[in-house]
Structure formats: structure tokens, C-alpha cells
Structure 1
Amino acid sequence: MTLDLGLLLVCILGVGFLAQWLAWRVKLPAILFLLLAGILMGPVIGVLAPDKLLGPLLFPIVSLAVSVILFEGSLTLRFSELPDIGRAVRGLVTYGAVIAVLMLAVAAHYFAGLSWEVALLFGALTCVTGPTVIAPMLRTVRPNARIANTLRWEGIVIDPLGALFAVLVYEAIVSRQQGHTLGIFLAVIASGVVIGLLAAWTLAFLLRRQLIPEYLQNYGALVTVLLAFSLSNAITHESGLLTVTVMGIALGNMRGVHIDDILDFKENLTTLLVSSLFILLAARLSWPLPDGMLWAGIAIFIVAQLIVRPVTATIASIGSTLNWRERALIAWVAPRGIVAAAVSALFALKLDALGMEGAKALVPLVFILIIGTVVLQSATARPLARWLKVAEPDPTGVLIYGADQAARVVARALADAGFQVIVADEHWDGIKHARMEGLPTFFGYPASAYAERHLDLTGIGRLLAMSTNRERNALACVYYRQEFGRGKVYRLSNDNGDATGSRLQMGGDLSAPALFGDGMTHERFLERLAEGWRIKSTRLTSTFDWPNFIEQYGSPTVLLFGVEEKGALRVSSAKRELEPRPGWTVIALVPPQSAS
């Protein structure tokens, strides 16, 4: 079966999108569906043959795509955050990672018959987890905050560090395979470091001096990355991957360089590249696998799951504050992700071209480990967390999008009532005031790709969209409706209530229940605060019920929230008018004359 080349390329993009969408719907890592789609289109159906499709362009395309993926991942490593990540995380990403590399290498050597060089490279590639596979799993498992933070930070930190380690191991193998001396290997390392630092400094200089207009900064950053990669390879063979990794780490840690937009662009581009790249790479697998390869991969997966991870997690957590139950879950959860799949495929292509024995086995073994860890851990981690009693109960925390005065006073009232609160906004001024008021914050748009990686939603189960931007409120509601459920997402109206405002109201799936009723708007809320209205929190009793509350504080009082006796939060909205009962704690906006 043959398809037109253009149609086939569009089909790859379309299938990649569907795989990403399906992963979003079922809250599983997208890499699982991308790999399965590639295997289905390639060796199973036979509609996609990447080597015939791209010919001599396959290797350069894979190389450039991997360089962008590594650069984007390394941008997220912040040295300033390393001292605060905790003893267990530091152990997992340092000596724990080294132990994992060695144990995985031993398993690959004895079960799959790989040479020690290729086995060590396999270990370096597969010791890496990563935020793209950890984040969806944490949302499903919902472990307690200490476990979630440990696993999340491990993924963020080990992603670039693991890639750097794998690149160094690969450089050593290539130098030895080509008969190079230690001096040439060191020259490769020096070239990658120097060119990477120089490229980072050059791009930072242009950005600081605003010599590149904003609309060209993303384009310029991409060109700089690809140019540094290609130039480094031209000057010193095979140093390009090290160059882009060093460049990303250096640029991400430079002061005074605004890279948020670049990071967002790279994340979006990486999603496109990963989606297409993994389908192509999986389609190159031969099926059925060579004799013994499938069973060797399964054996390595069992060793990795039942021996390597428990040993490294146990050793790394010695001296930490984690209890044995928390250590047990951490020892179970370690799904492999993007770096392992992408870089292993590139290295396999290069080593195979050099005639390295066992290079062709690298990709299927890595893919078996990825699929095995993602499937098994996604299916079992939540029940295990419940059995160990380290799973969070149904999330009761509140994510508030918006950080102006209206959002902050609501956040403070909820925090004072004992609820976990996160105030998120892309405007620094509001976030700055929220932090000064002691509120937990997230600087960024909560529905962005950056938030998907860095916004910790452990314990959070509702969204209150209270920003001044009507369109962004609507998009945030649509995004978090899938995360929290349709009944857990609300928005504070930004309309003025006149005819023009009615014409501008969001409809259909873009709408969410109006927070605090149809009569309350963002403007009206701010006006009442300016007039001296204040938020009151009072526990109702049989002798002082809701009618008594209204009688004391006045009929204009606006009921915002109700907290039931067992601690459940009820949100007042246009969809649900609350009827507070004795035993509830009511949180209401009351007029100024009765606020004292």
C-alpha cells in the first residue's frame, strides 16, 4: 500500500496530533501512544517506511530534531533551585543515577548480549525519567506532596543531566570505535562546551540589548541552536549534541535574559517534533523482533522495575525525611520518556553507520522499557499509593487564575479557611503582591505548556478564573474542565451587564458557571472592595443561622463560599445557589457598615 508523499507526511502529523490528544484525554504520557502509532503504521500495516520516505534526509532530520529536544530540556535546569530540591532528589539524580546506569548496563550485557560499550550507553539513556512522563502520571496517582515533589523534581533535573551523561558516554564510545586517542575525546568535550557557552552568550547578548525584535526572537533562538549544533559537528565530529545541551543549561541560568517566550515556543515546537519523530522512529522497527530480542527486553524491564529502581531509590533516600511508605512508592514509579527514545534512536543510527555491533538492538530495547514502565506503572501506581496510604484524598485545593486585588482577597479568605490555594497569573505585578501577602503563587499562564511541566497541582481540584482577561479565562476553563471536571471550574464575569456585554459573552463549551452569581462581575467586585466591603467568615449554628447572618450584615450581602461540617467546599455560582445550614462556615462579602 503506497500513499502520496505529501499525504503521508500530513498523515504523520495528524496521527501525532491524535496521539497527543488521546494522551491528554486519558491522562497518560503521550510517548506511549506515539510509539504504538508508529509501530502500527510501520511494521504492522506497512504503510510507513521512513528510510524509503526520507532517504538520505532521515539522518539529518532526526539529528536536528533531537538537538532541539535536548536544548529545550536543558533550558529548564536551574542551578539556583538545586539546593532546595531535597536530599532524596539529590541522591536520585547523582549517585543514584550512576548506580542505575551501571545496573542497567549489566542487565543489557547479560540478557541482550550487548557489548559493554553499548550496554553502558543503554544504561545512560534509560536512567532518565522526565517531566513529560511524570506529570501525567502524578495527576492520575495523586500521591502526597512529598512524593509528588520528589518525583517531579527528579524528572526535571535528571532530564538534562541524563542527556548530558548519555552524550558523554556516546562520545567516548565513538572515539574508541574510531581509534581516537583520549586527547581527541577531550577535544570533542572542550569543543562542545566552548561552542555551547559561546552560542549561549551570543544569544543572551542579542536578547539583553534588544537587538532582535520580539517577533523574531523565537526564530533567532531556533536558528542559533541549529547553527551551533551544525557548526560544532563541522569543527569537531559528533560534538553537536553536547553543544546544544551546554547551550541550553547556560542560557537557562543567565541573569537578565527573558527566555519565557523562547521556552514556550520551544515547548510547542518540541511537541510537534516529538510527535512526528517518535512515529518515524517506531515505524523503523522490524517486526517481529529478532530472535530473543523481545524476551531480552522484557527481562531487562523486569530487572529495571523490580531491582534497579528499588535499589537506587532506597540508597538515594537514606537520611531523607521520607518514611518507608513514601520510599516504596518512589521505588515503583520511574517511567522512561522522551530523552531515552529520541537520543537512543539517533545514537543507534550513528553507531550502526560506524559498524558498531549491537547498535540495532538499542532502539527496540529502549522502546520495550519505555512501553513496559509506562503501562505497568500507570495501571498500578494509584492502587499502590492507596494501599500504602500515601495517596491524597479527593483534591480540595483551589487554583485561582488572576492576581489582582479581587483574586487575592478571595485567595486569602480560602487560605484562612484551611484550603490549599495557588494564585496563578502571567503578570508579575499581581504575583509580586500575592507573594508579599504570603500566598502560594505560580508565575505564568496556568493553561500553558510551561505550566503543564512546572505547575504542581497536587491537592488542587478546582479552578476559579478571576483574571481581567475574558478570553484567557474562557480558555483556562476549557483546559481545566478536563483536569478537574465540568462541575469544578468557574469564572468571574468580565462583562458589564449591558447589551454590548451580552453580545460578548462566551457561549457553548467556552462558558463556565458564573462565579458568585450572574449579578457579580469582576468590575463590580472591585468597586465594592473600594467602597469598603469586606469578606467575613462565620460558622453558623442553630441559634445563628443564615437568615440571622443576613439580618445582621444586611441583604446586599453576597455569599461566596460555604464550607460544610466535614470540610467540603461549596462554591456559590449562577448554576448553584447555596443554602447554608447550621454547622456550615459561610464566607461572604458584606457591606462596609457591617464589616466590623
Structure 2
Amino acid sequence: MDVLWQTLDHLREPLFRLYTIASTHIMANLATIMLLGLSAQWLGWWLHIPSILLLLSFGFLAGPVTGLINPDQLLGNLLNPLVSLSVGIILFEGGLNLKLSDLPRIGRVVRTLNTIGVMATWTLATLAAHLLLPLSFPVCLLFGAILTVTGPTVILPLLRQIKPNPRVSSILRWEGILVDPVGATLAVLVFEVVLIGSFTEIPQMMLWDLGKVVVWGSVFGAGGALLIFLFLRHHLAPEYLHNPLTFALVVGIFAFANQWQAESGLLAVTLAGILLGSQTAVSVRHILKFKENLQVLLISTLFILLAARMKMADFQALDWRIGLFLALLIFVVRPAAVFLATLGSDLSWQERTFLAFLAPRGIVAASVASIFSLQLTHAGNLTAHLLVPYTFAVIVTTVLWYGLTAGFLARHLGISQRNPQGTIIVGAHDWAREIARQLAAMEIPVLLIDKNRQHIEASQDLALPVLEKSVLSEDLSEEIELTSYRRLICLTANDTVNSLANLHFQEFFEREDIFQLPLQNPGSIPGHLCGRTLFGPEFTFEQVGRLFNRGAGFRVFSLAEWQSLSKPAAGGALPFPLFAADGQGSLTIATPNASPVTARTTRVLAMVSPDDAAGPAAMDPVRI
């Protein structure tokens, strides 16, 4: 114990110095925000918990608890514009991921959630606030309008963590991205009415302003999308400028649309993203990848700033009434809005239930509430100052509640899996089918993909799930419930097809979960275009096929059986472990640098020599 205290005593001075640097120097302060944000993202991934919870915790500790970060002092008048601009960029990236081809399946639900659902949320939240909270009725109207916004800054990280089925995921993506401009516009219109104080002119005023937002947002959005499209289609800029040019144009679309018509910027960038992402004439995948990376950084930074802006004094305004209001918001308002919006739809009761219990609020609600609260307070409204602490209470509570319960609810309702281990195998030839059969025996879900009709029929004869399709088909993701699968294994004879499949599936799977056979001609395809190398350099398609035709096979062993085998003295000999599963059903795959067998392994799928008739214990190593 004395050693511990001595160590802490020695660390006190350098830690204090680091704190002083981080809190007083602008550059160090900015670096601290980014480091905290990305540390929370990484820790959330490592611990398998929603990163939003850690982002809020880190921000709260760095802000009101320790005083390490003061966003208003650091950024001053730039804070709100930077937040708005960041949200616009996130909405553009979200729009790129939305496909107009999804709308025939989910369009009606998306439309009603963003119309009927928004109006129901506004009405019910306003009534609840009027009954419970010490706010004037005009401020209650504004508070209700602010709370219609969920947004991609909170929805997308939760979806990435929960991985619900494709239909629910698409609905929530569309709702979360579209409701930002819809809800923000509604809040601005209500704010103008509250500021003027004339409620007799609400209908005509709101319709007129709403019409202008829709028209000018559409003009700037469609025009901006066309401009980016022309740059890409006619090669008016080199590829290394595609991402920075797109970024600059998106910033321009948002800024100029907002200046031309207030609050039309969010609609403009959302529409630009949807139009650009839905067209097929030019590829925007490289832009999408850049924007996805940027989105992670922006969301991390925004939530640290959001939580750090809170003040201890804000909690003094919170009492039992806001607690009851939050309960109504979560358990009555959202379920009622979803129920009304999904009446007559073909959604299952499980999907409706999940939609009804996922509506966290995020950075847009916080920024809008901060701006409106300040302006109404200066205008003499006596209760407007409560908008900020109440909105922050809603954000923190809904993020914590949905972050902790949504994953459990999704698994309980059967629309997501906690740790999916499904494996897609590209190629359904003879030894690929045998690998799939053995993986299925290990209770690993498999799906074979091939275009060869004979391979399809042979797979069906073995009762193996198989899809007759090109792995490079644009609509492949619509035919596979990808949330059930975690990895891709490319086993075709064509190295180019394997590499293209790797690039194609990077949109759906992590890079570390995409594998392909070693190149038959090393160096023929650049390494950055290939997936992770399967098994070892000796296990090319030609070599594995030759061994299989000579009688080698694939066999599942218990760990005890595997440990009793005569092991090869060097790599590239049989028996060779290809896959290993642990007691939780998690699959590990052999690579040139790592064996799949670990201390937690319970079963091993190995390639074995033809000489296995005498049983596993009698096997002798055979060189490939």
C-alpha cells in the first residue's frame, strides 16, 4: 500500500502539469477533446457497450466535474456554427447511405413517422410539459417541437452497436436523418411564433415559412448534388481532390442555403446526400468511406462538447417533475407516436415495439435549445432559461436509457443478435462445400454464394444455405439479412473476384472480418485491395484443391482430440487448424501470422491428410 501511495505522490506533479496544459492551451484543449472522444469510442467497442454512454460520461467529467474543458470559452461564438455545420456534414453522410430503392419497402412508414409521428410527438410532449413543468405555454410549444428531433448523431452509433434486422435498421436510419431537418424546421417556425407572440397567425405563418424551407432546401440540395455529380462524372478534378472538393461543396451547400432561407441547410445537405448516394452512374464509395471516418470523429467531438457544456447549476432546476415528464416521454409519447404512424403497416409487433422504444435525443436538440433559450430570455420570457437544463436532462436520460436497454430489447424481440458469427463463403465448389458443412456442424451459420448451377444443386443436396448470385451484384445486400453474418470468406479460383468481393463487402463488414485465399501469383494484386490472407501462404486455391482431390479432408476435433494429435514441425503441413470455436460460439480463423487455437478454444476445424482412417491420435504430419 505504501508503494502505491508513493507512486501516486510521484505522479501528482506531472499529472497536474498535464492538466494545466490541457485546460489552458487552446491546441492542447482541442486535442484533449478529440482524444477523449475517440478513447470513448474505442473503449465502447472493446467493452461491447454503447459508446454514447462513455462519450457523455467523459464529457461530463471533463467539463463540469474537473473543469478541464470549457467549450464556450474555447470556441466562443464559433461553437454554435461549428456544431450546426458538423450536424450538416453528418446528415450528408447519412443521406449517402440511404437508398431511394428502399422506399418501396419502408417508404410509407418513414413518411408517416416524419409527419404523423412528428406531430403526435410535438402535441403529446407539449401537453406533458404544460401539465408538469413550470414553463409558460408558448415555451412548452417550443420545447415539444425541439423534442421531435432524434437525429443520426445518436441513432447511428446505437444501430452500429445493436445491429437490428435490415428493415428496422433502414426505417430508423431514414427517420433519424430526415427528422433532423423536419424537426429543426418545426422548432424554428414555433420559435418565430413565440417570439412574435401572435398565435392567431400560426397556421398561415408556419405554412408559408415551411414552404420556403422546402423549396429552397430542395433547390440547393438538388443543385449541389448535381454539381458534385458533374465533377465526378466528367472527371473535372483528379481523384485525390474528390473528397476535399465534396467536403467543401457540402459546407457551401449548407452555409449558403441557411443564409438564403433560415434552417433550409439541413434539408439541403440531406437531400444532396440521398440523391448522390442513390444514383448509379458514378461511384461515390470512396467519398462515403471518407465521410464515415469523418462522421465518427465529429460525433465523438460533438458529444464531448455537449456534455462538457453542462453546469452544476443546471441540475438545481431539476426535480421530480422532470423525472415524471421523462417517464411520459419514453413510455407514453414515443410509443403513441409510433403506434399512430405505423397503423396499417406490415411491420411485425416486434418491429413496432422496438421502434417505439428507441428515440434518443442528441446534439441538434441541445444546440437549438441553447440558441432559443438565450434569445427568448433576452426578449423577456421568464421561463425560457429552463429550456437548456430540461433539454440536457432529456438528452442524458434518453441516451442512457436507450443505450442500456435497446440492445437487450432487440435481442429479446428476436430482431438482432448479440454476437453474430454467421459466415458468408464466396464459392460453392467441392471443398468449399465441405468447409461449409463442417462449420455448420460447429453451429456456425453459413451462406454459400456462387453462380455455377452445378455448385448450387450440389449445395442444396447437402442442405446447405446457398444463393445463386454474383457476389459483386449491386442488390446483393437486399437479398441477404446481413445482420446475421459477421464475416466474408472468399474461396473462388479467381484472385481478382476474391479481391473485388473484399472491396464490395467493406461497406457491410469490418476489414478484419474479410478474408481471401492467398494470391496464386504473389504481388499480382496490390495488398491494399485484398482481404486478410486465409490460413497460410501454401493454401492457395490450386494447392488446396489438389490435396482435396488426393483424399485430404476437413474434420472437427474437440480440443482434447486436437492436442493429442502429432503436430507438424512447421507450417504448411497436415493436420492444419483452419478454424476454432470457443464455448461462446465465437469463431477464430487461421492467418499466416496466427493460429486460431487459443486457451478458450473448445473445437477445431482442421484440414487433415488422407491417412485418417486409424483415428485422430494416429495421424502423422503430412507436408503440403
Deviation at 1:177, TM superposition (A): 5.4
User: Quick check: 1:74–1:249 contact (8 Å CA) kept in 2?
Assistant: yes
What does residue 429 of structure 1 align with?
A: none
CA radius of gyration, larger in: 2
2:116 matches 1:95: yes
Provide the residue aligned with 1:142 in structure 2: none
Q: Secondary structure at the match of 1:334?
A: coil
Describe the shift of the 1:419–1:578 C-alpha distance in structure 2 as closer, same or farther (beyond 3 A). closer
**Correspondence 1:520 to 2:539:** yes
Whether the 8 Å CA contact 1:131–1:152 is kept in 2: the answer is no
SS in 2 for 1:125: coil
Structure 1 residue 155 displacement after superposition: 1.6
Tell whether the 8 Å contact from 2:110 to 2:175 is kept in structure 1 after alignment: no
Contact 1:28 1:137 in 2 (8 A): yes
1:222 to 247, 253, 260: 247
1:251 is aligned, of 276, 291, 299, to 276
Q: How many residues align?
A: 511
Partner SS, residue 398 of structure 1: strand
Amino acid at match of 1:223: A
Deviation at 1:19, TM superposition (A): 0.9
> Residue 296 of structure 2: which of 261, 268, 271 is its match?
271
**Equivalent of 1:123 in 147, 155, 175:** 147
Rounded Cα–Cα distance in structure 2 between residues aligned with 1:443 and 1:159:
28
- Determine the C-alpha separation between the residues in 2 that align with 1:301 and 1:411: 52
Matches within 5 A, 1:184-199: 186-199=211-224
1:111 alignment counterpart: 132
CA distance in 2: counterparts of 1:492 and 1:99, whole angstroms? 50
Distance in 1 (CA, whole Å) between partners of 2:605 and 2:256 is: 65
Alignment pair present for 1:65 and 2:89:
no
Are positions 1:304 and 2:310 aligned together? no
Match of 1:158? 175
Report the Cα offset of residue 9 of structure 1: 1.2
How does 1:264-343 map onto structure 2 within 5 Å? Answer: 264-293=289-318, 295-319=320-344, 324=349, 327-331=352-356, 333-336=357-360, 340-343=361-364
Q: Identity percentage over the alignment?
A: 28
The answer on whether the counterparts of 1:34 and 1:279 sit within 8 Å (CA) in structure 2 is: yes
Give the structure 1 partner of residue 570 of structure 2: none
Cα distance in 2 for partners of 1:316, 1:480 equals: 34
CA–CA separation in structure 1 for the residues paired with 2:387 and 2:431: 52
Assess if the C-alpha contact under 8 Å between 2:122 and 2:147 holds in 1: yes
* Equivalent-residue separation in structure 1 for 2:537 and 2:544 (angstroms): 12
Displacement after TM superposition at 1:86 (Å):
8.2
- Code of the aligned partner of 1:334: L
Offset at residue 21 of structure 1 (A): 0.7
Matching residue within 20, 23, 31 for 1:10: 31
Matches of 1:460 and 1:321 in 2, distance apart?
25
User: Secondary structure of the residue that 2:423 maps to in structure 1?
Assistant: strand
| Cα distance change, pair 492–223 in 1 and its aligned pair in 2 (3 A) | closer
Query: Does the Cα contact within 8 Å between 2:373 and 2:388 map onto a contact in 1?
Result: no
- Structure 1 residues 284 and 436, CA gap change in structure 2 (3 angstroms): same
Q: How far is the alpha carbon of 1:243 from its aligned partner? A: 2.5
Distance 2:480 2:70 in 1: 39
1:432-511 matches, within 5 Å, as: 438=468, 457-460=482-485, 464=489, 494=518
Residue of structure 1 in register with 2:48 after alignment? 27
Instruction: Give the drift of 1:81.
Output: 0.7
Aligned twin of 2:287:
262
Q: Is the 8 A contact 2:338 2:352 kept in 1?
A: yes
Q: Deviations over 1:112-162 (max 9, x none)?
A: 3451441232232148896524324425xxxxxxx6334312221102221
**Aligned 8 A contact 1:101 1:127 in 2:** no
Q: Give 1:7 deviation, angstroms.
A: 1.2
Unaligned runs of 5+ in 1: 140-146, 426-434, 483-488, 505-509, 540-555, 581-596
CA contact (8 A) 2:435 2:554 kept: no
Task: Output the aligned Cα RMSD.
Answer: 5.0
Asked if structure 2 preserves the Cα contact closer than 8 Å seen for 1:399 and 1:460, the reply is: yes
CA gap of 1:461–1:364, structure 2 versus 1, over 3 A, is same
TM-aligned CA distance change 1:204 to 1:20, over 3 Å: same
Aligned to 2:400: 375
Cα distance, 1:350–1:48 mapped onto 2, change above 3 Å: same
